[in-house]
């Protein structure tokens, strides 16, 4: 605890030295606490909750604090409310989010991944099958309609669970399985010019391996610097790459990707990774707070608060199939964003309001705090569900990665989060039920016959 307090106290001192205002100082200090807690706990806990808070803090605490210190005219999307109003809403929201996230006590994050040889042998054969099964589902996705293909997409993520688990069992023997899975995820990312899945799964692997193998402080530090560079690199290169493939008509692939990278790394280019414009663009992408500030500004002017109407729309989208609700909203639907954010986005652009914005649209400031608590509580419920699955196999703990893959993303719409959460829990719940019976049969077969 003493080490955790050093980070926020140091930041407070620097903020005082640079004459930052109270709310920005408090926000940066709180974020530094979350970052330090995530970094330190990587070795001691399966730090999914810590990463979630850090990720949201990066978007709603750190990035807006830096943005407020800069000239808002430099940003295409600036903060539309003053820092005092913004942080007076968001800082308590993080407290409510924290209490919701830790509402139920869970042993999920301190579970041991050490297995007896018998269980390891059973798991190895199953895990290899999961990788093949996951790849098969991923490659046949384009052959199915969107409504059904999403279930296949969710199921295909089992290949990551399998690759991580095999690597944990024997790093030398199974490293190529992991490399293969990551390589093809890079291939899919470059083919579609969509890199969020790749980034998330690399982060998930670091979280898992740090806890399972108790990596050293030095290795943790190297991982963190690698991820910071990787994130900034992808954020820098994807704008150039998408303009070449989506607008310029160039064929997507490694050659175009590398050509885009060579331009971004050019020191004299306006699009250089080191250019001010690229820094500001990266900061904007990490700053979901500008959307929230726009919602607050618009709602305070128009005053058309929606109570729970949007939640009803989101629940319909998450739970009802399209043949029962043909008019339900789709993932990436722009209508609600355009209506309540005060911005109008064009075709080909996807932005989400986010859970904090939905709370403000419902009930104002109190709505943000209520939504934050119940959002964290939703995670807690998922943790308890997956914890019950871990009694079948420790590796079933890793199902929280595909189940909450979208929920940890601050840029996702709430209907997308709920829809993914419902479908992923269903898919992996069915997998759990099947293998529970499978393991029960294996145990029955392995028991010695007692002679009377």
3-state secondary structure the chain: CHHHHHHHHHHHHHHHHCCCCHHHHHHHHHHHHHHHHHHHHCCCCCCHHHHHHHHHHHHHHHHHHHHHHCCHHHCCCCCCCCHHHHHHHHHHHHHHHHHHHCCCCCCHHHCCCCCCHHHHHHHHHHHHHHHHHHHHHHHHHHHCCHHHHHHHHHHHCHHHHHHHHHHHHCHHHHHHHHHHHHHHHHHHHHHHCCCHHHHHHHHHHHHHHHHHHCCCHHHHHHHHHHHHHHHHHHHHHHHHHHHHHHHCCCCCCHHHHHHHHHHHCCCCCCCCCCCHHHHHHHHHHCCCHHHHHHHHHHHHHHCCCCCCHHHHHHHHHHHCCCCCCCCCCCCCCCHHHHHHCCCCCCCCCCCCCCHHHHHHHHHCHHHHHHHHHHHHHHHHHHHHHHHHHCCCCHHHHHHHHHHCCCCCCCCCCHHHHHHHHHHHHHHHHHHHHHHHHHHHHHHHHHCCCCCC
Asked whether the predicted pLDDT for residue 8 surpasses 80, the reply is no
Q: How confident is the model at residue 229 (pLDDT cuts 50, 70, 90)?
A: confident
- Round the average pLDDT of the chain to a whole number and report it: 81
Directed axis angle between helix 414-446 and helix 309-319, to 10°?
Answer: 40
CA distances in angstroms from 373 to 94, 197, 242, 405, 422, listed in the order given? 9, 26, 37, 19, 19
Please tell me which residue, 368 or 419, carries the higher pLDDT value. Answer: 368
pLDDT in tens, 176-213: 999 999 989 888 888 887 888 888 898 998 898 888 88
Please tell me which residue, 275 or 130, carries the higher pLDDT value. Answer: 130
166 C-beta neighbours (distance < 10 Å), count: 24
Choose among 368, 393, 428, 306: nearest CA to 112: 393
Q: How confident is the model at residue 57 (pLDDT cuts 50, 70, 90)?
A: very high
What is the pLDDT at residue 15?
A: 67
Q: Of the segments 58-67, 92-101, 178-187, which one has the largest average pLDDT value?
A: 92-101
Distance CA 410, CA 55 (A): 8
What is the pLDDT at residue 451?
A: 41
Asked whether the predicted pLDDT for residue 54 surpasses 80, the reply is yes
Q: How confident is the model at residue 356 (pLDDT cuts 50, 70, 90)?
A: very high
Return the CA Rg of the chain.
Answer: 23
């Amino acid at each position: 605890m003493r080490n955790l307090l050093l980070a926020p106290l140091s930041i407070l001192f620097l903020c005082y030295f640079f004459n930052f205002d109270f709310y920005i100082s408090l926000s940066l200090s709180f974020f530094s606490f979350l970052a330090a807690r995530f970094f330190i706990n990587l070795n001691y806990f399966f730090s999914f909750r810590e990463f979630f808070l850090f990720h949201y803090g990066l978007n709603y605490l750190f990035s807006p604090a830096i943005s407020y210190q800069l000239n808002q005219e430099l940003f295409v999307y600036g903060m539309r409310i003053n820092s005092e109003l913004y942080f007076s809403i968001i800082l308590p929201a993080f407290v409510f989010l924290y209490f919701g996230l830790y509402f139920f006590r869970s042993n999920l994050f301190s579970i041991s991944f050490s297995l007896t040889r018998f269980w390891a042998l059973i798991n190895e054969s199953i895990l290899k099958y999961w990788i093949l099964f996951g790849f098969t589902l991923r490659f046949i996705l384009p052959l199915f309609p969107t409504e059904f293909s999403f279930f296949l997409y969710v199921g295909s993520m089992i290949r990551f669970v399998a690759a991580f688990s095999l690597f944990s069992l024997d790093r030398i023997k199974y490293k190529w399985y992991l490399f293969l899975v990551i390589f093809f995820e890079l291939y899919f990312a470059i083919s579609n010019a969509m890199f969020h899945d790749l980034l998330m799964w690399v982060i998930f692997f670091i979280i898992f391996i740090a806890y399972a193998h108790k990596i050293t402080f030095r290795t943790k530090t190297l991982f963190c610097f690698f991820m910071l560079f990787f994130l900034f690199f992808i954020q820098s290169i994807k704008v150039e790459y998408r303009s070449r493939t989506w607008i310029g008509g160039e064929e997507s692939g490694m050659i175009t990707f590398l050509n885009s990278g060579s331009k971004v790394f050019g020191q004299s280019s306006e699009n250089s990774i080191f250019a001010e414009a690229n820094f500001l663009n990266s900061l904007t992408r990490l700053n979901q707070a500008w959307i929230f500030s726009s919602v607050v500004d618009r709602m305070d002017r128009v005053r058309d608060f929606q109570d729970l109407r949007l939640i009803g729309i989101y629940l319909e989208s998450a739970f009802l199939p399209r043949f029962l609700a043909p008019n339900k909203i789709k993932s990436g639907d722009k209508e609600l964003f355009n209506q309540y954010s005060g911005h109008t986005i064009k075709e080909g652009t996807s932005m989400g309001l986010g859970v904090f914005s939905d709370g403000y649209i419902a009930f104002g400031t109190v709505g943000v705090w209520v939504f934050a608590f119940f959002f964290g509580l939703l995670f807690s419920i998922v943790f308890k569900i997956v914890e019950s699955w871990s009694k079948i196999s420790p590796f079933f703990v890793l199902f929280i990665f595909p189940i909450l893959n979208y929920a940890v993303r601050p840029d996702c719409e709430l209907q997308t989060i709920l829809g993914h959460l419902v479908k992923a829990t269903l898919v992996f719940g069915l997998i759990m039920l099947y293998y529970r019976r499978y393991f029960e049969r294996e145990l029955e077969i392995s028991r010695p016959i007692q002679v009377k």
